[in-house]
């Protein structure tokens, strides 16, 4: 089996050992072997990025555009191949894997265009005769740490703007899904990216991640992952005065009002809560339903869930693939037990499933008769588990929706313009959806949340410049 190596200073280098990439749909299938970097290799990668950063920061914008555009075209041309790789290593259905790969190509295409739209301001000074220019410049070397649930899209929406705005990168992907990360880096290298501008170091968070966080040579860190790890990233970056950006999680509410179209509400809820195996920080894990539609909504959701096929991610007709690994499956099952112990009714699912291949299959779980104070409604499960919370009316629904330490995404299903408008204004979330799943954001608009979900500048779109650049104000006295 081919060993996929780390990329440091333009060279593919072996690690101290290798790790098998296991298919969660079939644990007997090894997707590939990937080198594991140690702290010393990570330091070499950081040094390579530092050495390359000055020239890349001053590289012609056409060069940057051409490289990112070439990467976009290559990703799009290989979308079936890369989508299949993604589904094998993460467990998304093939349709979702291809869709995510297309999203990565679109992100690179967008930022290829942004390379040609870099701009600043020239304004009048309060002092006669002076000229003032305000420009954005790269911050230097960016450490990028990505999660396992979006193996190509999240690396894309971090790496593409970092390179677009002239930064060098040290990239650590999640250990569970190195395949897409390696393929993406290989594509960028072949697209003509200069040596050292992008460095790939695969390995554990305790080794590679800590080396990135502790380094005084890295200027900024962008991280997507758990709340606990995000807090650690913040503390380490603050200690070394790094700029940092955190995307951590959600306990996203979907409000369903009595006047909602029932079929739409059910489709929105099931898609948002359970597709991608519920392994999305934007998943609709709290279904806040007014009492007039509650019983019809629950019954229709259960019927919808009964018709879903849970199977191998690559099997034809699969709606929901496996949980990503044994550890995540154990966490999901533990929360299902907690919900039952707290008095919630397990109205559907929650059972381990056997399929033709050994994998981490879990029937989607729907709880009813829950309260917002239960742990299953306070803590992020990150699996195919959702809870229904019965409320009296819109005012109570809004209060319950906002009663969370998270604030990433929220949604409402209603035919009322009044309630839709009020919810958009008063929902305490960074992203609000009306008659749509809470999961799913276009690639050219800002992504991020409030409260415990996010910290720092937004990701994606033109708002990405706020993190990946620093502002310079220059005064000129013409002589």
Show which residues are catalytic: 247, 281
Cβ-based neighbour number of residue 85 at 10 Å: 23
Would residue 310 be called left, alpha or beta, if left means φ above 0 and alpha means ψ between -120 and 50 degrees?
Answer: beta
Two tokens, residue 102? 């297309």
C-alpha span between 44 and 113 (Å, rounded): 32
Q: Kindly state the greatest CA–CA separation across the chain.
A: 80
Beta bridge partners of 387: 286, 367
Do residues 402 and 450 touch, judged by C-beta distance below 8 A? no
CA–CA gap between residue 391 and residue 395 (Å, rounded): 9
Look at residue 433 and give its three-state secondary structure. Answer: strand
| Strand extents, DSSP E, 63-184 | 121-124, 131-138, 141-145, 168-172
Q: What is the DSSP string of 279-338?
A: --TT---EEEEEHHHHHHHHHHHHHHHHT--B--TTSTT-SB---SSHHHHHHHHHHHHH
- The first and second tokens of residue 270, run together, are 């099931």
**322-348 as b/e: b if 16+ CB within 10 A:** bbbbeebbebbbebbeebeeeebebbb
Element (H, E) at 160: helix 153-164
Name 51's Cβ contacts closer than 8 Å, sequence gap at least 6.
9, 196
The set of residues, in sequence order, having a beta carbon less than 8 Å from that of 231 and lying 6+ positions away, is none
Please, are residues 246 and 223 in contact by the beta-carbon 8 Å criterion? Answer: yes
DSSP helix/strand/coil, 419: helix
Joined tokens for residue 472? 């310079």
CA–CA distance, 412 with 269 (Å, rounded to integer): 10
Positive or negative: CA dihedral 24, 27, 28, 30: positive
Q: Are strands 6-8 and 11-13 parallel, antiparallel or unpaired?
A: antiparallel
């Amino acid at each position: 089996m081919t060993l996929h190596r780390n990329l440091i200073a333009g060279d593919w280098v072996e690690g101290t050992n290798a790790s098998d990439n296991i298919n969660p749909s079939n644990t007997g299938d090894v997707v590939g072997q990937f080198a594991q970097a140690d702290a010393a290799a990570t330091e070499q990668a950081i040094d390579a990025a530092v050495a390359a950063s000055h020239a890349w920061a001053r590289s012609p914008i056409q060069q940057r555009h051409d490289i990112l555009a070439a990467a976009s075209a290559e990703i799009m041309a290989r979308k079936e191949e890369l989508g299949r790789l993604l589904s094998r290593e993460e467990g998304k259905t093939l349709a979702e894997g291809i869709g995510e790969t297309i999203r990565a190509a679109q992100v690179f295409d967008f930022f290829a265009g942004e390379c040609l739209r870099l701009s600043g301001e020239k304004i009048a000074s309060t002092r006669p005769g002076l000229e003032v220019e305000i420009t954005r410049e790269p911050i230097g070397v960016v450490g990028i740490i990505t999660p396992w649930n979006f193996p190509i899209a999240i690396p894309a929406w971090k790496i593409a703007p970092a390179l677009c705005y002239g930064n060098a990168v040290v990239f650590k992907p999640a250990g569970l899904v190195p395949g897409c990360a390696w393929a993406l880096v290989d594509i960028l290298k072949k697209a003509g990216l200069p040596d050292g501008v992008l460095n790939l170091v695969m390995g554990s968070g305790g080794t590679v991640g800590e080396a990135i966080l502790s380094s005084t040579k890295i200027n900024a860190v962008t991280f997507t992952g758990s709340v606990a790890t995000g807090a650690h990233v913040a503390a380490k970056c603050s200690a070394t005065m790094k700029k940092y950006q955190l995307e951590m999680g959600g306990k996203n509410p979907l409000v369903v009002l009595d006047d909602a179209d029932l079929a739409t509400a059910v489709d929105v809820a099931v898609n948002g809560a359970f597709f991608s195996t519920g392994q999305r920080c934007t998943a609709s894990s709290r279904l806040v339903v007014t009492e007039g539609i509650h019983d019809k909504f629950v019954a229709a959701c259960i019927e919808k869930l009964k018709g879903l096929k849970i199977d191998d991610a690559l099997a034809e007709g699969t709606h929901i693939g496996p949980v990503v690994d044994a550890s995540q499956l154990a966490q999901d099952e533990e929360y299902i037990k907690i919900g039952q112990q707290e008095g919630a009714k397990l109205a559907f699912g929650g059972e381990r499933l056997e399929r033709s291949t050994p994998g981490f299959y879990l029937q989607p779980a729907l709880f009813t008769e829950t309260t917002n104070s239960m742990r299953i409604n306070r803590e992020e499960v990150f699996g195919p588990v959702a809870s229904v919370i019965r409320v009296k009316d819109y005012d109570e629904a809004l209060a319950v929706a906002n009663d969370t330490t998270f604030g990433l995404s929220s949604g409402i299903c209603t035919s009322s313009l009044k309630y839709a408008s009020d919810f958009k204004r008063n929902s305490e979330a960074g992203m609000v959806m009306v008659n749509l799943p809470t999961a799913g954001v276009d690639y050219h608009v800002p992504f991020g949340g409030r409260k415990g979900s996010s910290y720092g500048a937004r990701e994606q779109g033109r708002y990405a410049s706020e993190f990946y650049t620093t502002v310079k104000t220059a005064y000129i006295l013409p002589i």
